[in-house]
Amino acid sequence: MRKKNRIFPESHSIDLDTAQTSVTTQSRYSCEDFRRKKIIWIIIIIAIIIILAIIVTTIILTRKKNLEETSMLETTSITTEMSITTEITTESLETTTSDQVVFPINARWKQNGVTIAGGHKNGNGLNQLNEPYGIYVDDDERAVYIADTMNNRVVQWKFRATSG
């Protein structure tokens, strides 16, 4: 009975050189796999660190640029406020001219003269004058200019016109 429960080695013969070579080959492959996996993980970690460094650097430079632009804008506005000066000068020029009409010594009034302007009582119509003060005769235009004082105007009477 007892013989049934026994375990016997297989009847194959074991070659020790082959077994040792297969163990060495297997350990070499597992060691190379481990090294490859280790190198891949190192490359992945370095890539992640580089990407994070680029992102952080970009964020910092963007914030710094925004701060510089803000500070430049503030400086510009302060400078603008301080450098604005306005100077207003007014000059007035007052000129006074006086023309004198010189009559020849032998000039005489004609008794039957012709009225060339006015002659219709005082008023503000185009054919009336109200306190005429000055007169100018323009030979080129063949017209007379009269300063009508109380009507605050200068009236032009052309040759043979009945109103100004």
pTM (2 decimals)?
0.34
The answer to whether position 34 is within a domain reads yes
- The DSSP output letter for 51 is H
Mean pLDDT of the chain: 75
What SS3 class is residue 103?
coil
Q: Which residue has the tokens 């302060």?
A: 78
**37-57 average pLDDT score:** 94
The answer to whether position 157 is within a domain reads yes
Residues paired with residue 137 on neighbouring β-strands, in sequence order: 144
The answer to whether position 56 is within a domain reads yes
Indicate the residue among 82, 109, 135 that finishes a domain: 82
The answer to whether position 124 is within a domain reads yes
Q: Would the pLDDT of 125 be above 80?
A: yes
Q: Which residues form the domain of 36?
A: 18-82
155 with 125: CB under 8 angstroms?
no
Q: Which residue has the tokens 């063949």?
A: 142
The answer to whether position 70 is within a domain reads yes
Instruction: Name the residue with higher pLDDT: 140 or 45.
Output: 45
Q: What pLDDT, on a 0 to 100 scale, did the predictor assign at position 3?
A: 56
Phi, psi values for residue 9, rounded to 5°: -70, 155
Indicate the residue among 62, 82, 102 that finishes a domain: 82
**89-95 average pLDDT score:** 72
Q: Which residue has the tokens 């080959």?
A: 25
Residues paired with residue 158 on neighbouring β-strands, in sequence order: 143
Neighbours of 15 (CB within 10 A): 9
143 with 158: CB under 8 angstroms?
yes
Q: How many domains does the chain have?
A: 2
Please give the share of the chain, as a percent, with pLDDT higher than 90.
12
Instruction: List all residues 6 or more positions away from 16 whose beta carbon is below 8 Å from its beta carbon.
Output: none
The answer to whether position 62 is within a domain reads yes
**143-147 average pLDDT score:** 88
